[in-house]
Structure 1
Amino acid sequence: MSLLVVGLSHRSAPVSVLERAALTAQAQAGLLTEALTAEPAAEAAVLATCNRIELYTDVDKFHAGVAEMSTLLALHCGVGLDELTPYLYVHYEDRAVHHLFSVACGLDSMVVGEGQILGQIKDALARSQELHTAGRLLNDLFQQALRVGKRAHHETGIDRAGQSLVTFGLEQLAGDVSVADWAKGKCALVIGAGSMSSLAAATLARAGVSEIVVANRTPERAHRLVEILTEPGGPGVLAHTVPIAEAADELAKADVVVSCTGATGLVLTGREIADAVAGRNGHLDLLDLAMPRDIDAAVHRLDGARLVDIESLAAASADAPMAADVERVRAIVTGEVDAFGAAQRAAHITPTVVALRTMAADLVNSEITRLRGRLPGLDDKERAEITQTVRRVVDKLLHAPTVRVKQLASEPGGAGYADALRTLFDLDPQTVAAVSRADASSTDDPNRGRS
């Protein structure tokens, strides 16, 4: 089996296509389930964020896998395959590992180095574990990706190479002044109460806004966010909630709007914003972090309003500082990809080695049983000594070749050593497969690897 990635992102597709292809939680679950029923795939995981949709699978046939997974991706995205295909990219084996590790480090993000992708990768792994679509390969891959991403952020200054989308978006609105100078004393409307909206609200509170209004479809989450913003020892901002249906009514008194919801349609229309800015002094600043977009893109052409959205963030971040820190992260990724490949190749031969040692142990037991029949006069001490001697001889004979074959198998091109070992010792393929299944079952625990 081999790792395959089929996906699209801000690097391969325009925002309009990404918006239409956005996967709901239900669609993700359906995609994972159907990917496993497809003949080429044995494991599946979906990484879906505001600017990427990627399907990771373990397949036994490359071309059939690409065709089947592309078809399923298009089906669940609701975009025709012919229309989606020009924007799809495919990564296979080591290139697929390199891609995910780069994503985890923030190298493939619109804002280089943003750390929120680590939480999204963790969520993707948790989802596939809960649905039992991740086996040994994808569990190992995603857990290692999380470790690589954390290592990159810990060992380099990649965080400084590109801020989070929230910070970067607010900096775009602030322009030539600091976010604190721009935000001081303003009234902010935050639409949504998820991780991105909550981060935006907290950032605005720390920056010195005087009031925050939170609008969310689930009132309980909105109230919880307000409690966090106004708790003792916090930034001391005034905050309250309104029903999301009244969000447009709050535009008239808002100075800045941040929106990031899971809505499939517009939350704020161009007409609503045009009405809000009519006759006001100064601009209404809007930050749309949702995919698909929450705020009508027509606002870009509206006098009196200034909109920063995912598409404009992508353009603005093209010249963000990278250089030395990015190169250091790339070196980390390259080394980690090599290490992951070596570990996977070594693990591939382990069932064969276990099967060989099991066969040897069975042979020893059989011969000792035969010896007991031929030499009934041996006492227990003598039989135990003979048994121990035979086992030591067999262990010593097998030790060097099994250790060496594991070393060779971990090197590039070493996959054939397992086949050679099975052929040389005439190992039963079903026995090897049984060892593999028993070992793989240990990865089925949905809590495995969570931290």
Structure 2
Amino acid sequence: MKILMYGVNKDTVSIEDIDKYTLNESQKIRHLHDIKKFDGVEEVCILSSEVRSEYYLNVDETVFKHGDLLRYLSAFTGKPLKETILETYSKFNKDVVNHLFTIVSGMEAKPKGSHTTLQPVEKALDLGYKEKTIGIMIKDLFKNAIKFSRKMRLSEIMKPLYCAQPSRAIDLLQNSLGQLDDKKCVLFGNGYDVLHIAKLLLTLNIQSLTIANEDSADSTEMIDSLREWIDLTIDGPVSTRLHAADLLSVGYRFSNADGIVFSQSFNNECLNQELFEKVETIRQTMKKQIIVDFNQINRDLFNMLGHLVSYTSIENENTKDFTEHELNQADIFFDENLINETEKFMGNYQLLNEKHAQENVNKWSSLHQPVGTERICKSMT
């Protein structure tokens, strides 16, 4: 068995042609099931975004034919096979692992550290799982990539490379509140940035997490999405309590929270004086609480809580200038961990393949016993 990856990206295909390889949701589903039927293909998962389309396969290399996939892509794009071959790159085994771990950690593109590279990977895993085109091998590959990304994004030494808003929010909360494992947080907004912050907070085992929006349906949808993500990517129980709220019901959780984040996807103009009066009524004494505001709209309202909370606007926080040495140390740390995790995954992959092969041998043997063997064995007993 072998893990393979075939792909194209904006660097291998002209700007005019990249759209020919881009897949919408229904096309992804069709490709998953079509390719799963190819001889030798055990599992398939598709990572597709505006900058890349990559096909991750677990195959029996003694049966699978590389040309089958290339001809399939040629037919789909309407491009000559020769051109498709030139535009397509491929990797196998540990190079696939190395490649995916680097992408999901935001370390392939410049500037490094983007959190947006994570979303297409999570979507790919979710779709492959729902369509039943992945099994234990590819599922573990993507789960381990996502886990590796979280580890990198939460590592102190990696801070020079992770400066996007979600990472800065976690940094500000930790700097102000210390360890977060016994803390309660409320996140306002319905964008992917909010989900990303939520996933990092879950990794830090916070006590409770509330997502709030003007419409409670938006919050409920995000909490449901978060629960699905937990079931798919995290082994073992998660102790963090999850809540969905709207602006009418969030008063108690707002007043009781240790950390509050307003993302850019949340319109602060939706906040009203009634909510802040409710917070004042519920909690009239000082609490060590920090509000991180990425939106900075209608910020005067926060003055009402001046004696109760610590308000932090991102523009008040200077982005630290890291030294060349700190940047180099972060790169070294990433490379060392990437090598270790890649070798660890490939070791587990080899063990699973050996186990699977032995199970097939045992199954074959049980179905092909010599005639009379069972009768002889019984007579001997």
- TM-score, normalised on structure 1? 0.45
CA distance in structure 2 between the aligned counterparts of 1:79 and 1:158, rounded to whole angstroms: 42
CA distance in structure 2 between the aligned counterparts of 1:31 and 1:24, rounded to whole angstroms: 11
Q: Deviations 1:176-197 (Å, cap 9, x if unpaired)?
A: xxxxxxxxxxxxxxxxx86379
User: What amino acid sits opposite 1:329 in the alignment?
Assistant: F
1:345 aligns with 2:355: no
The Cα shift of 1:153 comes to: 1.9
Contact 1:21 1:79 in 2 (8 A): no
1:161 aligns with 2:157: no
Of 263, 268, 271, which residue of structure 2 is paired with 1:237?
268
Contact 2:101 2:148 in 1 (8 A): yes
1:328 aligns with 2:325: no
User: What amino acid sits opposite 1:142 in the alignment?
Assistant: F
The Cα shift of 1:239 comes to: 6.0
Contact 2:121 2:142 in 1 (8 A): yes
Contact 2:41 2:64 in 1 (8 A): no
1:35 aligns with 2:46: no
Counterpart for residue 89 of structure 2: 89
Contact 1:156 1:328 in 2 (8 A): no
Counterpart for residue 111 of structure 1: 111
User: What amino acid sits opposite 1:342 in the alignment?
Assistant: G
Question: 1:48-447 maps to which residues of 2 (within 5 A)?
Answer: 48-61=48-61, 65-76=65-76, 81-155=81-155, 157-158=157-158, 160-164=160-164, 195=192, 237-238=268-269, 322-351=327-356, 372=381
The Cα shift of 1:61 comes to: 3.7
CA distance in structure 2 between the aligned counterparts of 1:14 and 1:110, rounded to whole angstroms: 19
CA distance in structure 2 between the aligned counterparts of 1:16 and 1:162, rounded to whole angstroms: 32
The Cα shift of 1:73 comes to: 3.2
User: What amino acid sits opposite 2:351 in the alignment?
Assistant: A
Bigger fraction of residues in helix? 1
Q: Deviations 1:148-172 (Å, cap 9, x if unpaired)?
A: 222222335445415449999xxxx
Contact 1:43 1:58 in 2 (8 A): yes
Evaluate the alpha carbon distance shift between residue 26 and residue 162 of structure 1 in structure 2; reply closer, same or farther with a 3 A threshold: same
Evaluate the alpha carbon distance shift between residue 63 and residue 74 of structure 1 in structure 2; reply closer, same or farther with a 3 A threshold: farther
CA distance in structure 1 between the aligned counterparts of 2:193 and 2:76, rounded to whole angstroms: 25
Q: Deviations 1:43-67 (Å, cap 9, x if unpaired)?
A: 1100112322100112334896432
Evaluate the alpha carbon distance shift between residue 159 and residue 87 of structure 1 in structure 2; reply closer, same or farther with a 3 A threshold: farther
Percent identical = 15
User: What amino acid sits opposite 2:192 in the alignment?
Assistant: S
Counterpart for residue 44 of structure 2: 44
Contact 1:55 1:69 in 2 (8 A): no
User: What amino acid sits opposite 1:161 in the alignment?
Assistant: L
Is there any run of 5+ residues in structure 2 with no aligned partner, and where?
169-189, 197-216, 223-244, 255-259, 272-323
User: What amino acid sits opposite 2:350 in the alignment?
Assistant: R
Evaluate the alpha carbon distance shift between residue 19 and residue 346 of structure 1 in structure 2; reply closer, same or farther with a 3 A threshold: same
User: What amino acid sits opposite 2:149 in the alignment?
Assistant: G
CA distance in structure 2 between the aligned counterparts of 1:65 and 1:5, rounded to whole angstroms: 13
SS at match of 1:57: strand
Evaluate the alpha carbon distance shift between residue 22 and residue 328 of structure 1 in structure 2; reply closer, same or farther with a 3 A threshold: same
The Cα shift of 1:8 comes to: 1.6
User: What amino acid sits opposite 1:54 in the alignment?
Assistant: E
User: What amino acid sits opposite 1:23 in the alignment?
Assistant: L
Contact 2:94 2:346 in 1 (8 A): yes
Contact 2:118 2:146 in 1 (8 A): yes
Is there any run of 5+ residues in structure 1 with no aligned partner, and where?
169-192, 200-219, 241-318, 373-451
CA distance in structure 2 between the aligned counterparts of 1:133 and 1:118, rounded to whole angstroms: 21
CA distance in structure 2 between the aligned counterparts of 1:228 and 1:20, rounded to whole angstroms: 41
Contact 1:114 1:165 in 2 (8 A): no
Q: Deviations 1:425-444 (Å, cap 9, x if unpaired)?
A: xxxxxxxxxxxxxxxxxxxx
The Cα shift of 1:369 comes to: 5.8
Contact 2:44 2:57 in 1 (8 A): yes
- TM-score, normalised on structure 2? 0.52
User: Rg larger in 1 or in 2?
Assistant: 1
Structure 1 residues 321-330 or 56-65, which shifts more?
A: 56-65
The Cα shift of 1:108 comes to: 1.7
Contact 2:38 2:64 in 1 (8 A): no
CA distance in structure 1 between the aligned counterparts of 2:327 and 2:76, rounded to whole angstroms: 36
Evaluate the alpha carbon distance shift between residue 20 and residue 148 of structure 1 in structure 2; reply closer, same or farther with a 3 A threshold: same
CA distance in structure 1 between the aligned counterparts of 2:136 and 2:4, rounded to whole angstroms: 15
